């Protein structure tokens, strides 16, 4: 896992450590010293910690004018043992919603497992953004991750599943990746009707 870096091709357009509105503003990285671990595996030092023992992330892009954030995740999302959603919500999401961000794209290509607990924090997150026509989308979740998300009944607050998988977001600009997710959401709404 130590050689899996956060996606870097958008760094010319945005870096959280240079964004004064980001909770990671001023963060410095030592690419030669690996200190963060998920279980017994070191991870690349460019991943940002939110306090969780098993889930790390990188804010890849934020457009405050349009109100969206593109976030990449790595690790095991474990609400059951470690309450990872609490860390995500309190350390990042609450800060972003105060800055006007109400649309969240979570790239889950590197989320290896999900262990659910209850849906309280997800419901709170949804309540915080729904009045601004906000949404949460998980892109490229593994099938077993999607199944556990459904068992936890998160589909009431978060968009995920087959229609949001196989998205080649790394080949696009941040704006095009965001537009593709918006288009997928429109198709999903039409399917529901």
Which pLDDT tens digit goes with each residue over 70-112? 999 999 999 999 999 999 999 999 999 999 999 999 999 999 9
Mean pLDDT of 140-165: 96
Q: So what's the pLDDT on residue 187?
A: 75
- In the chain, what are the domain boundaries? 16-192
Q: So what's the pLDDT on residue 8?
A: 95
Classify the C-alpha dihedral 106-107-109-111 as positive or negative: negative
> Model confidence over 120-137: pLDDT tens digits?
999 999 999 999 999 999
Mean pLDDT of 170-193: 83
Backbone torsion region of residue 190, taken as left when φ is above 0, otherwise alpha when ψ lies between -120 and 50, otherwise beta? alpha
How many CB atoms are closer than 10 A to CB 191?
8
CA gap 76, 93 in Å, rounded: 18
Q: So what's the pLDDT on residue 192?
A: 42
Binned at pLDDT 50, 70 and 90, residue 32 comes out as: confident
Q: So what's the pLDDT on residue 2?
A: 74
Domain 16-192: assigned CATH number: 3.30.750.24
Give the tokens for residue 149: 């998300």
Task: Give the percent of the chain with pLDDT over 90.
Answer: 89
pTM of the model: 0.95
Instruction: Round to the nearest angstrom and report the end-to-end CA distance of the chain.
Output: 42
Q: Are 180 and 169 in contact (CB under 8 A)?
A: yes
* Phi and psi, residue 47, nearest 5°: -70, 140
């Amino acid at each position: 896992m130590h050689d899996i870096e956060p996606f870097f091709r958008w760094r010319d357009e945005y870096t959280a450590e240079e964004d004064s509105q980001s909770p990671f503003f001023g963060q410095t990285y030592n690419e030669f010293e690996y200190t963060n671990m998920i279980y017994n595996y070191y991870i690349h030092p460019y991943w940002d910690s939110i306090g969780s023992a098993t889930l790390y992330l990188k804010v890849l892009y934020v457009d405050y004018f349009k109100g969206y954030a593109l976030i990449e995740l790595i690790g095991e999302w474990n609400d059951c043992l470690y309450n990872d959603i609490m860390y995500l919500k309190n350390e990042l999401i609450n800060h972003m919603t105060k800055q006007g961000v109400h649309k969240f794209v979570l790239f889950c290509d590197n989320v290896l497992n999900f262990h659910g607990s209850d849906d309280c924090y997800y419901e709170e997150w949804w309540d915080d953004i729904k009045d601004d026509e906000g949404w949460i989308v998980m892109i490229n979740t593994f099938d077993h991750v999607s199944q556990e998300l459904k068992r936890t009944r998160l589909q009431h607050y978060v968009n995920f599943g087959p229609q949001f998988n196989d998205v080649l977001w790394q080949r696009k600009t941040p704006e095009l990746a965001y537009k593709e997710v918006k288009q997928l959401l429109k198709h999903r709404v039409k399917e529901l009707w």
